Structure 1
């Protein structure tokens, strides 16, 4: 049950997430993969550690794609990180940008609050 709710949050590239969600999920994924990678390295050697490194890369790219969706860019923009020096800086700048405040082609605004009381002052 827990795995089926966490898997879309960490391993799929659909949807949008806010900056805070992105940073929180990246830190969680890094800590979990580092801990299990160390454990797997002790039991299975470098192959076990490499498996969890790949799991982290997959999770980080899915989370990065979700974050880029929030600013209206596709996940393919992450490939620009392979350009030396300027690529990673460009990607990081986009990952830290504020998301668009309305629904876009990737889904509804994750930061929109529907539980606020709205008062029409024009009457």
Structure 2
């Protein structure tokens, strides 16, 4: 059964992705099956995750909420987090999600993977 947060998000018929941090940021990427059942999630667990995406998770997304540009890049329109008073999941809309495709303003070349992650 979807939570109230899931139900409110499911009313949106556009293309979007969801990050569920209601049980903690680590859970969102290691065991986040509930949000993946109802939504296109940026989290969840898969044993054969692409290493570059795993790097993005570890170097950027684990710094939530200090990773908003990366969430925007991944078209994360909704973040599910705990309500501070009830601790129940609540959906918050990210108005800055960039959509499924977008144009970049320019291209920068970096010296290696670590420099790329730092540049984000």
Instruction: Please tell me the TM-score bracket, short chain as reference.
Output: under 0.3
* TM-score under structure 2 length normalisation: 0.25
Larger-gyration structure (1/2): 1
Higher helix share: 1
